[in-house]
Amino acid sequence: MTATETGAEGGVPPGVLKPGLTAPQRLRAILGGSSGNLVEWYDWFVYSAFAPYFSSHFFPSDDPLTSLLGTMTTFAVGFFARPVGAWLMGLYADRAGRKTALTLAVGMMCVGSLIIALLPSYATIGIAAPIILVLARILQGLSVGGEYGASATYLSEMAGAKRRGFWSSFQFVTMVMGQLIALGILALMQTNMSEATLNDWGWRIPFFIGAAMAVVVFWIRARMDESASYENSKARGEERARTMLLFLKYPKETLAIFFFTAGGSLAFYSYTTYMPKFLKASGGFAAPTATAISAGSLFVYLLALPLFGWISDHLGRRATLGFAFGGCALMSYPAMTALMNGPSPWVAFLIVSALVFVLSGYNSVSAVVKAELFPANVRALGVALPYGMAAATFGGTAEMIAIALKREGHETWFFIYVAIVLAMSFLVVLRLRESRTHSLILED
């Protein structure tokens, strides 16, 4: 391995620097980082999956759609905490280390889930109930915002140059697995519990499960290795991350991440978290059928992600990004219009699966592209902050905008909105440099 690959340049004695990982160490690191990501996103998605059952507890109304809108607005508030979490945890990860930031993030998610699981309803404590719910979601938003940047950075740095696209795709694999577990628990409870029981107290169970899972992952993460990239950057005495350093030295990279994350985040939440509600309310499917269609499509998603990660290691990241954004921009309106017309469950499954399959061209390389654009001393902040801002602005408001337009009788406007934002992301990718061949991750 050359001096450049180990990061031994710059006049620092080679003995000071931490060498690259062995294959077994690399695998343990990837599994450790991924398990925490799974729990983080399970906890995040459980809120959306069970929102129809607990919305009336905190936002009572004679109109169920109004109650749901209040709950999903709170979901969006959690998203707007994500840029703050991304900013703070990105700085923390670049200064104190990836491992330390990841451990803190999963601890915060555990506390947020436990608060929601135990929170009394509006009927019991009045206005304090929705206020505390908002605060719990803000805490979870801070956690997920911090998790993404630290996790994307950690997995990309640990993956190794030859298979970096493939291994870093497991960040989204575990994210989808977290969502699948949330949907699986929802389907299990819908099958074995009455709707009255789910509405009464059953919705609290998945939040308790999430808190317990987070405790286990906290223990695992406390025992992970730190990344060589962070250790080498620290040993070289490089300037630690500052917010203005990001915007002054890397403005093009920061803006590119914001704009292509806009389309990816909006499409992801439209095709996944919003999809069961959309299939039920607009497609006319029964709740268990809508859940099954979404869960089945997520299995397709799960298999496609490492495939496109592998493809990116051979054809480049821009190829998979362009395929995803261009394809989804063309497909969104006709696909969602077809779903709104109430096709058979199998046809609906094929349509949703096609959407997430194409989108996986973005999600598979989402982490690695962002990480490869920045040097180690500012990498976690560079990955997290523009992502968190775009995810809040476009992903966090997706369901709220969709439901609001549906109430006004203009549901198809949402499909057009999704297509336009995806087209914008496609144009940004055309001007993006190929990060696979110009990666700033020096360690192999």
* DSSP per position, 29-48: HHHHHHHHHHHHHHHHHHHH
Give the whole-angstrom CA distance, residue 182 versus residue 41. 9
**Residue 91, burial from CB neighbour count under 10 angstroms (0-12, 13-18, 19+):** buried
Q: Fill in the amino acid letter for 441.
A: I
What CA–CA distances, in Å, run from 116 to 43, 60, 210, 417, 438? 11, 17, 11, 32, 44
Taking residues 380-388, report their average pLDDT.
86
Give the residue from 415, 430, 51 showing the smallest Cα distance to 267.
415
7: pLDDT strictly greater than 70: no
Taking residues 286-299, report their average pLDDT.
88
Neighbours of 300 (CB within 10 A): 19
CA neighbours within 13 Å on the CB side: how many for 316? 12
Q: Which CATH architecture has domain 22-430?
A: Up-down Bundle (1.20)
Give the whole-angstrom CA distance, residue 192 versus residue 203. 13
Among the residues of 193-227, which ranges form H helices? 195-200, 205-221
The residues near 83 (Cβ < 8 Å, ≥ 6 apart) are: 145, 385, 388, 389, 392
pTM: 0.78
Neighbours of 296 (CB within 10 A): 19
Q: Angle 432-434-436 (CA atoms, 0-180°, nearest 5)?
A: 140
Give the residue from 42, 435, 383, 96 showing the smallest Cα distance to 240.
96
Q: Secondary structure of the chain: what % helix, strand, coil (to 5)?
A: 80, 0, 20
- At residue 444, the pLDDT reads 60
- At residue 49, the pLDDT reads 81
How far the first Cα of the chain sits from its last, in Å, is: 8
Task: Label residues 417-435 b or e (16+ Cβ within 10 Å = b).
Answer: bbbebbbebbebbeebeeb
The residues near 427 (Cβ < 8 Å, ≥ 6 apart) are: none
Instruction: For residue 319, give both structure tokens.
Output: 């190829």
317: pLDDT strictly greater than 50: yes
Instruction: For residue 196, give both structure tokens.
Output: 């009255």
Selected residue with higher pLDDT from 431 and 357: 357
Return mean pLDDT, the chain. Answer: 83
- The position carrying tokens 């905190």 is 58
Taking residues 344-359, report their average pLDDT.
96
Confidence tier at 335 by pLDDT (50, 70, 90): very high
Give the residue from 344, 350, 342 showing the smallest Cα distance to 284.
342
13: pLDDT strictly greater than 50: no
Domain ranges of the chain: 22-430
- At residue 279, the pLDDT reads 92
- At residue 21, the pLDDT reads 59
Selected residue with higher pLDDT from 273 and 252: 252
Residue 337: its H or E element: helix 317-340
Instruction: For residue 248, give both structure tokens.
Output: 């002054």
- The position carrying tokens 């269609």 is 293
- At 38-59, the pLDDT tens digits run 887 888 788 878 888 888 888 7
Q: Fill in the amino acid letter for 204.
A: R
Kindly report the three-state secondary structure assignment for every residue of 228-254: HHHHHHHHCCCCCCCHHHHHHHCHHHH
Neighbours of 123 (CB within 10 A): 11
Q: Fill in the amino acid letter for 426.
A: F
- In this structure, the chain runs to a length of 444
Give the whole-angstrom CA distance, residue 205 versus residue 41. 16
Selected residue with higher pLDDT from 315 and 235: 315
What CA–CA distances, in Å, run from 58 to 34, 109, 167, 187? 33, 20, 41, 23
Give the whole-angstrom CA distance, residue 241 versus residue 237. 12
Question: Can you tell me whether residue 347 is helix, strand or coil?
Answer: helix
237: pLDDT strictly greater than 70: no
Taking residues 134-162, report their average pLDDT.
81
- The position carrying tokens 């749901």 is 68
Instruction: For residue 326, give both structure tokens.
Output: 């261009």
